Amino acid sequence: MRVRIWGTRGSYPVAHRSMLRYGGNTTCVEVRTTKRCIMLDAGTGLRLLGDALAAEPAPPRQLDLLMTHTHWDHIIGFPFFQPIYQPEYRIDIFGMARTQSTLRTTLANALTDPLLPMSLEDLRAELHFHEIDQGSCFNLGSVEVSTARTNHPYRALAYRLETEAASLVFIPDTGPFHTVLFGDERINWQGRPTDSDVELQELAAMREAIIELARDADWMLYDAQFTDAQYAQFPHWGHSTASQAREIAEAAGVRELLLFHHDPHRSDDELDAIVAAQSALARPPLVIRAAFEGMVLDKEEAL
Amino acid sequence: MKLQFWGVRGYVPTPGAAYLGYGGNTCCVVIYGAHDELLVLDSGTGFCRFGDELMQREFGEGRGELTLLISHTYWDHLLGLPFPGLVHTPGNKLKIYGPDSTRGSLRMVYDGILSPVYSPVYGLAHMAATHSFEPISTHPLQVGGLKVRAMPLSQHKHSPIWAYRIEEHGRTVVYMTDVRYSDAQIWRKAVHFAEGATVLIHSAPYTRAEEVEDYGHSRVEDAIEVAQEAHVEQLLLYHHAPTRTDAQLDALVAHYRAELVAMGSLLRLEAAREGPIIEV
């Protein structure tokens, strides 16, 4: 399994001098095996991935796009992904089943007038939509995919991708599991953590499922958008801190934690400092780094 | 009147070292009047960082007021709105002007991009700053000492695209983006609207020689021809293509400047750049 990070930023893409090393594109990760190209989320990093595919001598014509959810920062790269305009490609798009709108409609509406001039019907690649849910398990070639629910406004998915060689867990957007329980309704934050037993039990169960999903993973990309001060102010936006990410990684026995979904205000130097602080606290053998654009994680399948 | 670009890129933001000189955030231009009037043209991702700066001022205390003029509602002109803290701070006042689409009013479009499938804001009702959507028309509008005129220039599918002309003390900024001169009438309207402008901001992602899908844009040569025909003093090329690096933009500007000099034109030509404050 070869993983390449194309976008690390959360909320919105940023072009800024102080963020060149970790990068300003929003969430997108490519996972390659010998036969398969799986893409995680369609942030602005996806545009760069599309351009890289076009430059390959024999690019894979079957692509799988796994969506955690459809907030803007996770779909904004889709219309700029060149393979959707090319009939040689088949793209299978997976995302959470919703009652309000199908995955297909959600993407179609985002691409269409008055927001953009495209139309899903005009895209020349063969697109197939698959609605899945927490607890879904399926195979993409030799890659086993499993999912869990994360604690994020309007809910989102976490993914685990597993081959014989390696395992990757992808949780770009989640709050921690002790303050607010997110569902489909908006949280009207009143400055007090939930004290409802029912909600606390549901949060505990969600945390358990996330830890099960991440159990002994080689790599885990995890939401570490907030500083402690930001979390104290905005727990109702559904993001975690680096120490909350570390706590989940330790509980799950993850080998390497990659801090992810960087805040659009976070400079490279600030991220370096966060990594140093969390590394000093990490229980060995856990390794902590921050994901950066262009980062490659590689573990080959045994021949 | 002062002018500052916070986002110059068209279509999609382009983070990366090769784009930093001109900037990689999407469309957002700020005009400061002599009496602290604040006009913002389009709310692409450039609006997010401008919003951070405003939060250091009266907007951080919920005492800020700004007027937002929207040219049309495509992503690269719109998606920056919900992120800055200022729109979530009670007390701040946003007056938003822009065209309705035949598929829905400007308010409906903004409400739609904030719906829970796309945004954790859950709709305009939860944007805490006071905000109003004002119908745009060709009747002049006064923002403090700034006189604003608006004009529907072209139409892309269901979305009308408007241009703005802002005047103060005899100096004029004209903002024309995403216009396609598909017929002579649009061209004449544009020239008339830009007549005598001190500064014309004009989208120009590609040159005529480039064979690309531009989604309804005029080319660099069109912008130059409009500026010359309308006796504009300075033309600022805007809405740069996402593939255009700083070095390419430098070369492009140098090429067309040389052409202007060769034909004896006095038009000053620049590519819009994020950051510097320009005295108009």
Q: Convert the pLDDT of each residue in A197-213 to its tens digit.
A: 999 999 999 999 999 99
- Are B84 and B55 in contact by the 8 Å Cβ rule? The answer is yes
Domains and CATH numbers, chain B: 2-279 (3.60.15.10)
Average pLDDT of the segment spanning A250-256: 98
Size of interface A-B (CB pairs under 8 A): 123
Q: Which residues of B fall within a CB distance of 8 Å from A262?
A: none
Mean pLDDT, range A286-292, rounded to an integer? 98
Q: Does A161 reside within a domain?
A: yes
Instruction: Answer for the pair B210, B185: CB distance below 8 angstroms, yes or no.
Output: no
Residue A214 lies in a domain: yes
Give the closest residue to A24 by CA, choosing from A40, A8, A5.
A8
Q: Could you tell me which of A217, A241, A213 has the C-alpha nearest to residue A297?
A: A217
pLDDT interval class at A116 (50, 70, 90): very high
Domain encompassing residue A88: 2-185+192-298
* Amino acid letter, residue B33: G
Half-sphere exposure of B201 (CA within 13 A, CB side): 31
Query: Does some domain include residue A94?
Result: yes
Are A149 and A155 in contact, with CB atoms under 8 Å apart? yes
| Domain-located, residue A118 | yes
Task: Outline where chain B has alpha helix (H).
Answer: 46-55, 106-113, 184-194, 220-229, 246-262
Q: Do A115 and B78 touch (CB under 8 A)?
A: yes
The per-residue pLDDT for B156 is 80
Mutate to test the interface with A, among B25, B110, B118 (most CBs of A within 10 A): B118
Mean pLDDT of the A100-113 span: 95
d(CA A87, CA A34): 23
Question: How many Å apart are CA A208 and CA A248, to the nearest integer?
Answer: 10
Looking at residue A302, its pLDDT comes to 57
Q: What is the ipTM of this complex?
A: 0.95
Given strand A256-260, what is the order of strands in its sheet?
A: A137-140, A143-150, A156-162, A167-171, A219-223, A256-260, A287-290
pLDDT at A303 over 70: no
- A124 at the B interface (CB within 8 A)? no
* % chain A with pLDDT above 70: 99
Which of A132-136, A251-255, B178-182 has the lowest average pLDDT? B178-182
What does pLDDT average to in each consecutive run of 10 residues of chain B (280 residues)?
98 97 98 97 97 96 97 96 96 96 91 96 96 93 97 87 97 96 94 98 96 87 98 98 97 98 97 98
Q: In Å, how far is B207's CA from the nearest CA of chain A?
A: 20
Interchain contact, B158 vs A101, CB within 8 Å: no
Nearest to B118 among A14, A71, A265 (CB): A71
Total number of domains in chain A: 1
The CATH number given to whatever domain includes residue A171 is 3.60.15.10
Let me know if residue A303 belongs to a domain: no
Q: Which residues contact A188 (CB under 8 A, 6 or more apart)?
A: A236
Nearest-Cα residue of chain A relative to residue B23? A15
What average pLDDT does the segment A114-139 reach? 95
pLDDT-based confidence at residue A164 (cuts at 50, 70, 90): very high
Measured between CB atoms, does A70 come within 8 Å of chain B?
yes
In the sheet that holds B234-238, the strands lie side by side as: B141-143, B146-156, B159-168, B171-176, B199-203, B234-238, B268-271
Confidence band for A35, pLDDT divided at 50, 70 and 90: confident
pLDDT of residue A12: 98
For A113, which of B79, B101, B118 is closest by C-beta distance? Answer: B101
The reported pLDDT for the residue numbered A301 is 67
Residue A13 forms contact with B (CB below 8 Å): yes
Please name which of A43, A37, A38 lies closest in space to residue A172, comparing C-alpha atoms: A43
Query: What residues of chain B lie within 8 A of the CB of A24, using their CB?
Result: 13, 15-16, 24
Q: What does residue A107 show for φ and ψ, rounded to 5 degrees?
A: -70, -40
Whether the CB of A155 is below 8 Å from some CB of chain B: the reply is: no
CA B40 to chain centre: 8
The answer to whether A43 faces chain B, any CB pair under 8 Å, is: no
Is A114 inside any structural domain? yes
